[in-house]
A and B are shown apart, each in its own frame.
Chain A
C-alpha cells in the first residue's frame, strides 16, 4: 500500500502494472504507478501536445 501524493489517501497497487494510470478513490487525482515493490505512485503527467495515436 502507498499514499496519494495529492490527498494522502491509501492506494493499493495490487494487480496493477508499472506505468498504469489509476485514479485516487478519494480525490480522483490521476496517478501513475511508478513501482510495485515497494508500491509507489506519482501524479500522472498532464497530456502533452504530441500524445496521441
Chain B
C-alpha cells in the first residue's frame, strides 16, 4: 500500500494526516502541486506506484486540474474530479442540491447588474452576494439595502474578474449567530460542530468558535443525502438553521479543513478519512 497526498502547502490538516499514516506504517509521498509538470499524452509512471492519491491542494484550480489528469490516467483519487468540481462551484452545488430535492437557501443567478437588482428586490433585503468560486468566506457580502446592492455590484463589475460578473444571489437566512459544519465520510456523518460568531459570516477561517454539535438522525440523514447529491466522498457540509424551515444545506467543501473540529467532537477525523480511503482501495483490489 502506498498513498500520495497532493498539497500546495503543509497545513495542520496535512500534518495530522501524515501522523496517522506514520502511526499505521503506511508508505506515502507528499507531492507539491507547484512542482508538477504533466505530459498529458504520456502518463508519468510514478503515479502508478500509488494505490490512491488524496487531493489536499489548497489551490482549488490546481487540485481540480491534477484530479482530471490522474483520473484520465486511471489513477485512483479522492475526492473525484466530478465531486471536487461541483463543490468548488457554488452554482453547481446548488443545482445538485436542488436536483436531489435537498433544502437549500433560495438562490438567483443573473449577469446584468440592473437585472440582478430586480432579482434582489424580488427576494427582499437583506440578501447575500457570493462569488460562485472561492472559499473561507472571501468576498461574501450581506446586502441590506439598494444602495449597498448598487455599490457592490458596481465594484464587482469594475474591479472583479469575469467570474465576478456572474451574480449569485442568495436569500439571507436569519441563523442563530452560528451555523453547522458537518463532516461526512462515505455514508456517515462522523461528527459536526457549531461555528459561532458575532459576525454573520461564521467560517472558522474568519474567527468563528467551534463547539460540538450532536449528530442527530435528522442532521445525519440530510448531510449524507447532500454528500450523495454531489457525488459522495470525504466532504464538509455547511448547514444553516432556518427558524421556519429547519436545516438548509448551504455549501459543500471537497478539501475540508478540520483542525478545529477534532477537539470539540472527540472524533479523530484524519483517522476516519484514512479508513475510508483504505477501504476504497481494498474494495477495488477485490474486484
Which residues does A use to contact B, with CB under 8 Å? 17-21, 32, 44, 48-53
Are A19 and B32 closer than 8 Å at their CB atoms?
yes
Task: Give the distance to chain A from B17, nearest Cβ to Cβ, in Å.
Answer: 12
Which residues does B use to contact A, with CB under 8 Å? 7-11, 15, 18, 30, 32, 58-62, 133-136, 138, 161, 236, 253-257
Are A19 and B7 closer than 8 Å at their CB atoms?
yes
Q: Which of A17, A18, A53 contacts B136 (CB 8 A)?
A: A53
Nearest-CB residue, chain B, relative to A44: B9
The complex places the Cα of A17 from the Cα of B17 at a distance, in Å, of 13
Task: Give the distance to chain B from A30, nearest Cβ to Cβ, in Å.
Answer: 10
Are B10 and A52 closer than 8 Å at their CB atoms?
no
Nearest-CB residue, chain A, relative to B62: A50
Are A17 and B30 closer than 8 Å at their CB atoms?
yes
Q: Which of A19, A49, A50, A53 contacts B10 (CB 8 A)?
A: A19
Q: Which of A19, A32, A44, A48 contacts B30 (CB 8 A)?
A: A19
Q: Which of A49, A51, A53 contacts B8 (CB 8 A)?
A: A51
Task: Give the distance to chain B from A31, nearest Cβ to Cβ, in Å.
Answer: 12
**List of 9 A-B pairs having minimum Cβ-Cβ separation, nearest first:** A52-B135, A53-B253, A19-B10, A20-B10, A50-B61, A50-B60, A51-B58, A17-B10, A53-B135
Q: Can you give 27 contacting A-B residue pairs, CB < 8 Å?
A: A17-B15, A17-B18, A17-B30, A18-B30, A18-B32, A19-B7, A19-B9, A19-B10, A19-B30, A19-B32, A20-B10, A20-B15, A21-B9, A21-B11, A48-B59, A49-B138, A49-B161, A50-B59, A50-B133, A50-B134, A51-B8, A51-B136, A52-B58, A52-B60, A53-B136, A53-B253, A53-B255
Are B10 and A18 closer than 8 Å at their CB atoms?
yes
In the complex, chain A residues whose CB is within 8 Å of the CB of B60: 50-52
In the complex, chain A residues whose CB is within 8 Å of the CB of B61: 50
Known: A17-B10, A18-B10, A20-B9. A51 touches B135 (CB 8 A): yes
Are B134 and A49 closer than 8 Å at their CB atoms?
yes
In the complex, chain A residues whose CB is within 8 Å of the CB of B135: 51-53
Are B59 and A53 closer than 8 Å at their CB atoms?
no
For the A-B complex with A21-B9, A50-B59, A50-B133 known, give 4 more contacts whose Cβ atoms are closer than 8 Å: A21-B11, A51-B58, A52-B136, A53-B135
Nearest-CB residue, chain A, relative to B203: A53
Nearest-CB residue, chain B, relative to A17: B10
The complex places the Cα of A20 from the Cα of B58 at a distance, in Å, of 13
